[in-house]
């Protein structure tokens, strides 16, 4: 899936120099082992290692535009840890190309996924699996199901996935005219490198974000040969499911053909409760 891998963190030259200094200090400490106790050496090395982690984390944060975290927080990032399960039905139609309805239940903490719908041949499917099981040895049904899960879950929670997928390249392109209608919004572009593999190599998601940090419009560019190559869709019909903000209605076009994607039966289970909290 997109974001399954993680790029080497970009580190500024000044931090690289500081890291080399720290490495030299650690080397000196190890070479001078006879001049201090083991406890003293261990304490100093732990302190320096902690400093390296802080510097690296800070550098990573500096390479991603601040608006990305602001958007993710708007969609429930800070409270996502409270979510034990998410239920939703993804409904999509591209005129003349396909029409589908897929029911999902996902446990983010365990990776358990339950699916009810139809396979490529139109036959009913009801399957439950762990996402950790998806590898080269997994059976075709699970692979096909997980590819569908990734697509549908990205439509449900893409503003969060954009933040979680640290391998993606994210840029703030500033204010741009909306692709449809009137008005302008901040364009935040999220691109997955072709070298990353997974389900979305080379794909780009252009998010047009309003002043309230809500996505107003999406333009999706497919990086591979699969159709559709270009999808343009509104992000409206906002509802809250527990702490999560969900856009449930998307209309636009896919390679010029009318597109309609909408989410129904959206609900979450929160920590400490077995009850579903319906989206409102």
- Compute the distance between CA of residue 141 and CA of residue 134 in angstroms, rounded to an integer: 10
pLDDT tens for 212-223 read 999 999 999 998
For the chain, which residues score pLDDT lower than 70?
A: 1-62, 196-200
- Compute the distance between CA of residue 113 and CA of residue 104 in angstroms, rounded to an integer: 7
Record the tokens describing residue 86, joined without a space.
């998410």
- Compute the distance between CA of residue 230 and CA of residue 142 in angstroms, rounded to an integer: 27
Residue 53 burial by Cβ neighbours in a 10 Å radius (0-12, 13-18, 19+):
exposed
Handedness of CA 242, 243, 244, 245 (dihedral sign): positive
pLDDT of residue 106: 98
pLDDT of residue 45: 45
- Compute the distance between CA of residue 189 and CA of residue 219 in angstroms, rounded to an integer: 9
Record the tokens describing residue 236, joined without a space.
């409206």
pLDDT of residue 6: 33
pTM score, two decimals? 0.78
Q: How many residues does the chain have?
A: 280
pLDDT of residue 224: 75
pLDDT of residue 16: 44
Residue with tokens 């005219």: 177
CB atoms within 10 A of CB 198: 16
pLDDT of residue 193: 86
pLDDT of residue 24: 55
Q: If you write DSSP's letter for every residue of 211-235 in order, what string do you get?
A: TTS-EEEEEEE-SSSPSPSEEEEE-
Half-sphere CA count of 14, side-chain side, radius 13 A:
3
- Compute the distance between CA of residue 246 and CA of residue 224 in angstroms, rounded to an integer: 28
Say whether 195 sits in a helix, a strand or coil: helix
- Compute the distance between CA of residue 219 and CA of residue 233 in angstroms, rounded to an integer: 7
């Amino acid at each position: 899936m997109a974001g399954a891998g993680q790029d080497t963190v970009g580190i500024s030259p000044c931090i690289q120099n500081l890291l080399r200094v720290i490495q030299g200090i650690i080397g000196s400490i190890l070479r001078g082992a006879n001049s201090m106790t083991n406890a003293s050496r261990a304490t100093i090395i732990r302190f320096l290692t902690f400093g390296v982690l802080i510097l690296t984390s800070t550098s990573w944060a500096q390479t991603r535009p601040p608006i990305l975290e602001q958007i993710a927080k708007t969609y429930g990032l800070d409270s996502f840890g409270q979510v034990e399960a998410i239920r939703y039905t993804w409904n999509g139609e591209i005129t003349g190309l396909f029409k589908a309805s897929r029911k999902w239940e996902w446990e983010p903490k365990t990776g358990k996924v339950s699916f009810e719908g139809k396979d490529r041949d139109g036959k009913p499917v009801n399957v439950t699996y762990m996402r950790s099981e998806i590898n080269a040895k997994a059976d075709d049904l699970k692979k096909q199901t997980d590819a569908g899960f990734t697509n549908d879950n990205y439509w449900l929670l893409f503003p969060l996935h954009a933040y979680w997928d640290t391998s993606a390249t994210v840029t703030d392109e500033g204010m741009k005219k909306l692709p449809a209608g009137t008005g302008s919004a901040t364009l935040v572009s999220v691109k997955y490198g072709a070298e990353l593999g997974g389900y979305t190599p080379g794909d780009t998601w252009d998010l047009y974000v309003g002043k309230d940090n809500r996505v107003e419009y999406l333009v999706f560019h497919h990086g591979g040969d699969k159709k559709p190559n270009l999808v343009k869709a509104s992000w409206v019909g906002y509802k809250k499911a527990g702490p999560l903000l969900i856009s449930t209605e998307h209309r636009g076009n896919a390679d010029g053909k009318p597109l309609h994607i909408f989410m129904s039966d959206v609900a979450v289970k929160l920590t400490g409760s077995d009850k579903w909290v319906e989206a409102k």
